[in-house]
Structure 1
Amino acid sequence: MSPSLSWPLAAQDLDSSTAPATAVRIDVSQNEREAPVHHHRKGQLVMALRGGVTCSVSDGMWVVPPNCGVWVPGGLPHSNVATANARLFFLFVEPGASDLPDRCCTLSLTPLVREMIVAMADRSADTAPDAALLTQLLLSVLSRMPVQELYLPLTDEPRLRRIASSLAENPADRSTMAEWAARVALSENSLARLVRQETGLTFGRWRQQLQLIVSLRSLATGATVQKVSADLGYESVSAFITMFKKALGMSPAKYMRRLGEP
């Protein structure tokens, strides 16, 4: 088995390689749950087999629930924060080696893709007799994985950054849009226009998307639906479940079962 690398050193250690793809296990300790803003030449797929990860870039925040992956194109500055129980694999992809998106996105990964990434990380992919075939197959299949819109549009606009930071710190805050507008010295209509202009979403939908990301991250740690609902300030568990089903098409329990650990 190939040795795992500590986070966030993996990218710097592997960026000089010209291999089409290289996979590594990532050790996430209680004291190393965050990789500050950085970038690397290679594209990077962050895959979570257990726990979850949020990945932030200048214009958005992506969530990586269990058995999904977030794709970060090469050269894009980003930061990652993992849950304490996360079991991660990184796949570094040489620019031009695969027809993967040119934007950051969350990919839903099939068991076959997950097992290929694990297999690549668990041995020396550069020397295994079938390494080239495994890499070619993986990159071909990976480019066909469906994109999940598990992200929060962000912006450099300082007033919206302030609101997003406040909501991320206290997602249970149920302040009205009028109250948020007053806090950032805008009228309610002006704030509504600003959010729509900067994110393409209504204020309510934007806040709901942040809550969805927070809920997925919490559920990935093993938190109950009841606890997540309370932490987000919902008056009832059923109200939270209704929001979740409207956003992702199924209940939180069913969604997490579908992403069940291998």
Structure 2
Amino acid sequence: MPDYLIDPSFLNASGDAASIRVVLRRSPLARETALHSHAFGQLIGPLKGSARIETDAGIWVVPAIHAAWVPPHHDHALQSNGPFQGWSIYVPPVLCANLPQSPLTLQGNALLDAAIQRASHWQNGPETPAQHRLAQVILDEIATAQPVGLNLPAPQDARLQRIARQLAADLADHRGMAEWANWAGIAPRTLSRRFVAETGFTFRDWRQRARLLAALEMLASGRAVTTVALDLGYENISAFITAFKKTFGTTPGQYLAYGSENPAI
């Protein structure tokens, strides 16, 4: 029997519900949900480690200091990186009009964490005036939270998708763009042009982004910085640290320290 965080019939209701629902779950097992959608918007945040959210548009890596927003009726799947410890906020359609209309990753903060902790203890039923005010705080935090670029856009061309899948299976693969084009049966110039048109990144930048998002997951699972760098194909740890800092604005060590000093709920 599927292990739902919340009754699916509630999420696919007619939209009459006007209250948010917060679900908090700690499990010794990893969590994986197949691609699905529902009428409610959903904010998803891991308490420890990280989670990966997949949509038709690409993937989002969500470390514990961040959260992912999925608007209503967007297909999405989730896979936790290790035992699942996290929370979800379900926002009824009537309250989603002023919230982001596309999936994105948001920067967490202490106010949102505290509000989620309080709301996770609410019982089902009409909101009290105090609960309504706190719910508005949560909605305001979702609406105004700082987006974080932790997504990897998915190409749509079938040949580019083959390359993306193969790269994901071995991010340390050093083959150049021309070699990948020959492998996929596409002209190098066409591959270069279509990667930019379909993902917004050059092939080289897209592969770099894929490696660094994988690095976030590996670091969140407790892997050593040197091990992560070598496993992802970087020539040395300095090259990895430079690329990581250029993308995320901090070193891997500082990133890990920030996560441990700013625990979630």
TM-score scaled by length of structure 2: 0.90
**Alignment-derived partner of residue 109 in structure 1:** 108
Alpha carbons of structure 1 residues 139 and 233: separation in structure 2 relative to 1, 3 Å: same
User: C-alpha separation between the residues in 2 aligned to 1:41 and 1:118?
Assistant: 24
**Are the counterparts in 1 of residues 155 and 195 from structure 2 also a CA contact under 8 Å?**
no
Verify: 1:168 aligned to 2:164, yes or no: no
**Alignment-derived partner of residue 10 in structure 1:** 6
User: C-alpha separation between the residues in 2 aligned to 1:23 and 1:157?
Assistant: 38
**Alignment-derived partner of residue 64 in structure 2:** 66
Mind listing any 5+ residue stretches in structure 2 that lack a counterpart? none
**Are the counterparts in 2 of residues 28 and 84 from structure 1 also a CA contact under 8 Å?**
no
**Alignment-derived partner of residue 195 in structure 2:** 195
Tell me by how many angstroms 1:115 deviates.
1.7
**Alignment-derived partner of residue 252 in structure 1:** 252
Alpha carbons of structure 1 residues 226 and 86: separation in structure 2 relative to 1, 3 Å: farther
Cα deviations by residue, 1:198-253 (Å, 9 ceiling, x for unpaired) = 11211111111111111111111111111111210111111111100111111011
Q: What SS is found at the alignment partner of 1:197?
A: helix
**Identical-residue share of aligned pairs (%):** 32
Q: Tell me the number of residue pairs that the alignment of Structure 1 and Structure 2 aligns.
A: 256
Equivalent position amino acid for 1:24 in 2 = V
**RMSD over aligned Cα, in angstroms?**
1.9
Mind listing any 5+ residue stretches in structure 1 that lack a counterpart? 1-5
Alpha carbons of structure 1 residues 149 and 11: separation in structure 2 relative to 1, 3 Å: farther
User: C-alpha separation between the residues in 1 aligned to 2:223 and 2:118?
Assistant: 30
Tell me by how many angstroms 1:91 deviates.
0.4
User: C-alpha separation between the residues in 1 aligned to 2:116 and 2:230?
Assistant: 36
Tell me by how many angstroms 1:152 deviates.
0.6
Verify: 1:25 aligned to 2:24, yes or no: yes
Equivalent position amino acid for 1:124 in 2 = Q
**Alignment-derived partner of residue 87 in structure 1:** 85
Tell me by how many angstroms 1:8 deviates.
4.2
TM-score scaled by length of structure 1: 0.91
**Alignment-derived partner of residue 33 in structure 2:** 35
**Alignment-derived partner of residue 146 in structure 1:** 146
Alignment of 1:106-255 (within 5 A): 106-124=105-123, 126=125, 129=128, 130-255=130-255
